């Protein structure tokens, strides 16, 4: 379901706007049983049908509308006439007299707003859990966060309720949820899309964004929304700068942060291998970009959030989410001297960043280094949120364009993404680069939606007595383990037959030299079952992390050094079955 296809069909009168919004209403009603909390307010059926009939009348009168009959959702810090704006804070709510510029332009193009979506309160967060209206969860695994702050908008698109949805982005809020939910997240250059009628977070760096399934839809929305707005002091004349992707910058290996997430590291490296077929990959020192990122929350720019929320922080602080309040109240202590020193330092860092474009055409970073469960965020809300912004916080401060695109799926079904970053006004060029990458990458389709609540599972590689038809295989079958595949490790392991082990067991040992690919079987168990299995693993064996032949990592049997005392090196046989066959 794409916006372009819907608009084409409505313009061709092969369907109607009324039919499209009726279908959207049905999808929304069905998904309410799964995640009603993605919405803060919704249009009534009468409201959207009246808007749809007006669109059909315009088409019948001979108009061609680029978004004819396209249902969309808007993050609830963006004013849309007829809807209350809350910024996810009931005490802050107000009824706007008019739509924001972006909503006006969408309506003029024939799009129909189905409702206002949930968000991290006052757009402060990258997680999607800081809202009194409930916690939108990842559409593909509801144990995990949706990403924020544009949480509801991302889920509305990922779940197929609407083909496009508006978000906002100050520190990554239009990119992080896109990555986690297998979406395109288009974050335009500052000032390209007007922000009049948007509740500010950091007014000087805020951007309105769009979520979509395809780059073509992001381009279509950009063609409708982009353009100068004289009523917006932050708007600027439209410009389009072309770039040819000859050299792409990536972080130095020692600077890449994945926070222990080996899957994300593998998927990023795989994406770079694909990009290397399109351009030269150049490692760069990103320390200046990281320093700029720290200014957003650790420097004086946090006071800009405080300024935006000053009235409610003063008059009704208890109405503010405790985590949001803890973050934003730090701005009260920032001095004018600190602010000017921050402005000066940012200017120096921006000059450094601008000079990068003399040698590079674009940057490609992980959108995030990892993802987290909702329960994990509850335990460490600020620290883990900060981790998710490691590759996003600097972009708006340094006036860059960015486009988040899918780059793979973790075993838990959540999405991993990369972000293409370019100098200001390269928005359309980034879309072209994304198309080239996505064509080369040939990614698998997103997994099925999580409609029932997925059981959390762990993949386990077994190498010896737990293989099928071996003496201890029952320890897996009794835990209802599911067979995933028979494969091999990476060619960096040695296999030993341990001495005096009953029943006979091997020891798998990582080896930098002289290793080989060892045959293994991979099974999937529930988290609780995996825990009970691990308890029964006897020393000197242990459960660690094993790298497979395709570069992915799973849990698996490893061994302590004492395991090879008196053991027979059977690496040359390539696996335990071959050893047992030879022994018999």
Residue from 131, 173, 264, 553 carrying the catalytic annotation: 173
CA distance 293 to 345: 12
Inter-residue contact 405 to 179 (CB < 8 Å): no
Distance CA 181, CA 195 (A): 25
Six-digit token pair at 154?
């991302």
CA 405/CA 171 separation, integer angstroms: 17
In SS3 terms, 503-523 reads as: CCCEEEEECCCCCECCEEEEE
DSSP state letter for 190: T
CA distance 208 to 229: 14
- Distance, in Å, from the CA atom of 139 to the CA atom of 160, rounded to the nearest integer, reads 10
User: What are the Cα distances from residue 90, in Å, to 40, 94, 324?
Assistant: 10, 9, 15
Q: Which two tokens stand for residue 121?
A: 């309160």
Q: Reduced to 3 states, what is the DSSP secondary structure of residue 174?
A: coil
**List of residues 6+ apart from 568 with CB closer than 8 A:** 496, 497, 499
Give the sheet arrangement for strand 519-526, strand by strand. 482-488, 519-526, 457-462, 553-559, 541-547
The encoded tokens of residue 176 equal 């992080």
Residues 6+ apart with CB under 8 A from 486: 519, 520, 521, 522
Give 481's contacts (C-beta < 8 A, 6+ positions apart). 460, 523, 524, 525, 529
Rounded to 5°, the CA angle 576-580-583 comes to 135
Contact 292, 307 (CB under 8 A): no
> Annotated catalytic residue: which of 99, 131, 146, 149?
149
Q: Answer for the pair 547, 499: CB distance below 8 angstroms, yes or no.
A: no
**Rounded to an integer, what distance in angstroms lies between the CA atom of residue 129 and that of residue 124?**
10
DSSP 449: P
149 is an active site residue: yes
Contact assessment for residue 181 and residue 147, using Cβ atoms and an 8 Å cutoff: yes
Give ∠ CA 456-460-462 in degrees, rounded to 5.
160
Name the DSSP class of 85. B
Q: Which runs of E-coded beta strand occur in 424-479? A: 457-462
The catalytic residue positions are 75, 149, 173
């Amino acid at each position: 379901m794409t916006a372009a296809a819907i608009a084409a069909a409505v313009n061709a009168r092969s369907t109607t706007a009324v039919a499209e919004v009726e279908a959207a209403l049905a999808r929304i009603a069905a998904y309410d049983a799964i995640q009603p909390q993605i919405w803060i307010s919704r249009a009534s059926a009468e409201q959207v049908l009246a808007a749809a009939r007006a669109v059909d009348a315009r088409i019948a009168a001979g108009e061609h509308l680029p978004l004819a009959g396209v249902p969309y959702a808007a993050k609830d810090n963006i004013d849309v006439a007829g809807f209350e704006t809350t910024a996810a804070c009931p005490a802050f709510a107000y009824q706007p007299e008019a739509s924001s510029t972006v909503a006006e332009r969408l309506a003029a193009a024939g799009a129909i707003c189905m409702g206002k979506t949930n968000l991290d309160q006052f757009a402060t967060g990258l997680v999607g859990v800081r809202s009194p209206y409930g916690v939108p969860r990842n559409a593909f695994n509801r144990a995990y966060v949706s990403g924020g702050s544009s949480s509801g908008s991302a889920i509305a698109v990922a779940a197929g309720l609407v083909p496009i949805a508006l978000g906002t982005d100050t520190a990554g809020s239009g990119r992080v949820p896109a990555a986690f939910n297998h979406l395109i997240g288009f974050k335009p250059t500052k000032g390209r899309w007007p922000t009049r009628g948007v509740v500010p977070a950091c007014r000087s760096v805020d951007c309105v964004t769009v979520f979509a399934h395809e780059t073509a839809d992001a381009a279509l929305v950009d063609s409708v929304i982009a353009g100068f707005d004289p009523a917006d002091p932050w708007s600027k004349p439209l410009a389009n700068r072309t770039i040819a992707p000859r050299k792409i910058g990536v972080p130095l290996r020692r600077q890449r942060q994945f926070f222990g997430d080996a899957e994300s590291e593998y998927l990023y490296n795989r994406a770079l291998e694909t990009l290397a077929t399109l351009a030269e990959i150049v490692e760069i020192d990103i320390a200046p970009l990281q320093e700029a990122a720290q200014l957003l929350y650790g420097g004086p720019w946090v006071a800009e959030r405080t300024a935006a929320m000053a009235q409610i922080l003063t008059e009704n602080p208890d109405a503010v989410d405790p985590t949001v309040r803890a973050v934003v109240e730090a701005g009260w202590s920032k001095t004018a001297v600190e602010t000017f020193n921050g402005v000066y330092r940012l200017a120096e860092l921006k000059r450094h960043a601008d000079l990068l474009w003399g040698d590079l055409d674009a940057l490609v970073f992980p959108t995030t280094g990892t993802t987290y469960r909702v329960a994990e965020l509850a335990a460490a809300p600020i620290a883990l949120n900060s981790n998710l912004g490691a590759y996003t916080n600097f972009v708006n401060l340094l006036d860059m364009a960015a486009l988040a695109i899918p780059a793979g799926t973790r075993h838990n079904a959540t999405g991993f993404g990369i972000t293409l970053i370019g100098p200001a006004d390269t928005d359309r060029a980034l879309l072209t680069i994304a198309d080239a990458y996505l064509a080369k990458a040939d990614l698998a389709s997103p997994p099925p939606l999580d409609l029932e609540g997925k059981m959390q599972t762990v993949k386990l590689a077994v190498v010896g007595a737990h293989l099928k038809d071996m003496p201890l295989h029952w320890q897996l079958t009794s835990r209802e383990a599911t067979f995933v595949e028979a494969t091999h490790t990476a060619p960096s392991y040695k296999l030993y037959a341990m001495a005096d082990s009953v029943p006979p067991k091997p020891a798998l040992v990582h080896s930098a030299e002289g290793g080989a690919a060892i045959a293994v079987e991979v099974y999937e168990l529930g988290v609780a079952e995996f825990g009970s299995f691990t308890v029964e693993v006897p020393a000197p064996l242990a459960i660690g992390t094993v790298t497979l032949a395709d570069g992915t990592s799973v849990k698996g049997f490893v061994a302590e050094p004492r395991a090879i005392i008196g053991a027979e090196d059977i690496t040359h046989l390539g696996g335990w079955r071959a050893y047992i066959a030879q022994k018999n």
